[in-house]
C-alpha cells in the first residue's frame, strides 16, 4: 500500500517561491535549520509565510536560496517546505536530514544560515 502523504504535489498545487520571506520557528542553530530524520524527510524543513508574533524564529530571504540547490515550496495554506530541488525520491533530503545532530554542517544547512536576515 502506498503512503499518499509521501507524494509530492500530485495535483500540481504547490507553488515555488522565488522572493519574499519565510519564517522558521526556533533558534538559528544548525540543528534547527536541518530537517529531522524520519519526520521531515518526505516534505522538507517546515517554515511559514506568516511572521510569528511570539517566540524565537528565523527569517529566511527566499531569493537567497537561488543557486543553492534548495527551493521553498508553498504546499498548503501558509505552510512552506524548504527542500532540495529536483529530488523526487527524497534522496537528497534524507542525506541532508542524516547530518542533524552531527558535527557536520551540510551545504543546505549552510545555505539557510546564509539566507537568514534580520527580520524586516
Which pLDDT tens digit goes with each residue over 34-87? 999 999 999 999 999 999 999 999 999 999 999 999 999 999 999 999 999 999
Q: What is the mean pLDDT of residues 102-115?
A: 97
Whether 100 and 31 have beta carbons less than 8 Å apart is answered as yes
pLDDT of residue 12: 54
Q: Which three cell numbers stand for residue 41?
A: 524527510
pLDDT of residue 3: 40
| pLDDT at position 2 over 50 | no
pLDDT of residue 120: 56
* DSSP letter (8 states) at residue 47: E
Closest CA to 93 of 32, 36, 27: 36
Q: What is the mean pLDDT of residues 98-120?
A: 93
pLDDT of residue 118: 84
The rounded distance, in Å, linking the Cα atoms of 79 and 77 is 6
Tell me what the pLDDT averaged over the chain comes to: 90
Q: Which three cell numbers stand for residue 14?
A: 504547490
Model confidence pTM above 0.85? yes
Q: Which residues contact 83 (CB under 8 A, 6 or more apart)?
A: 35, 43, 44, 45, 70, 71, 73, 93
Task: Name residue, grid cell 534524507.
Answer: 94
| pLDDT at position 6 over 90 | no
Residues in the chain: 120
Helix and strand numbers, DSSP H then E, in the chain: 2, 7
Amino acid at each position: 500500500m502506498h503512503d499518499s502523504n509521501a507524494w509530492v504535489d500530485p495535483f500540481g498545487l504547490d507553488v515555488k517561491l522565488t522572493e519574499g520571506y519565510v519564517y522558521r520557528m526556533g533558534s538559528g542553530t544548525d540543528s534547527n535549520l536541518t530537517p529531522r530524520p524520519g519526520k521531515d524527510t518526505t516534505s522538507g524543513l517546515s517554515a511559514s509565510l506568516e511572521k510569528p508574533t511570539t517566540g524565537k524564529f528565523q527569517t529566511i530571504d527566499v531569493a537567497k536560496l537561488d543557486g543553492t540547490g534548495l527551493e521553498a515550496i508553498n504546499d498548503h495554506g501558509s505552510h512552506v517546505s524548504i527542500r532540495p530541488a529536483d529530488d523526487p525520491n527524497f534522496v537528497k533530503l534524507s542525506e541532508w536530514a542524516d547530518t542533524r545532530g552531527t558535527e557536520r554542517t551540510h551545504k543546505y544547512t549552510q545555505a539557510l544560515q546564509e539566507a537568514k536576515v534580520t527580520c524586516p
